[in-house]
Amino acid sequence: MLSLVPGEAHSMLTKSLETKVNDLNYLFRRQQQERSLASNAASSAARTAHERLSAMYEDEIRRLTDERIRIAPPLPRA
């Protein structure tokens, strides 16, 4: 059994939460970058590749947040 003094437990929990927040920030940033690249892609193949990558980041965000965060689909192109 792992036994921690209160300060160590707090430190571990804080570190764990910081890591999760940093991971989410990274995933949000990459998802937005891929969505932007998809909307500005020069070819349909590039657009499809970037849309798939964006969807993969969205899936990971949902997984890490236990489905509490969902990203709205992109707006239709004009």
For residue 76, being part of any structural domain is answered with no
For residue 16, being part of any structural domain is answered with no
Mapping DSSP to helix (H, G, I), strand (E, B) and coil, where does residue 49 land? helix
For residue 6, being part of any structural domain is answered with no
At 1 the pLDDT is: 46
Full residue range of the structural domain in which residue 34 is found: 23-66
Tens of pLDDT, residue by residue over 23-43, are 999 999 999 999 999 999 999
Tens of pLDDT, residue by residue over 7-20, are 666 566 667 667 77
Q: How confident is the model at residue 74 (pLDDT cuts 50, 70, 90)?
A: confident
Show the tokens assigned to 29. Answer: 């940033």
Query: Contact 38/51 with Cβ under 8 angstroms?
Result: yes
Domain tally, the chain: 1
Q: Count CB atoms within 10 A of the CB of residue 17.
A: 10
For residue 41, being part of any structural domain is answered with yes
Query: Contact 54/31 with Cβ under 8 angstroms?
Result: yes
For residue 36, being part of any structural domain is answered with yes
For residue 8, being part of any structural domain is answered with no
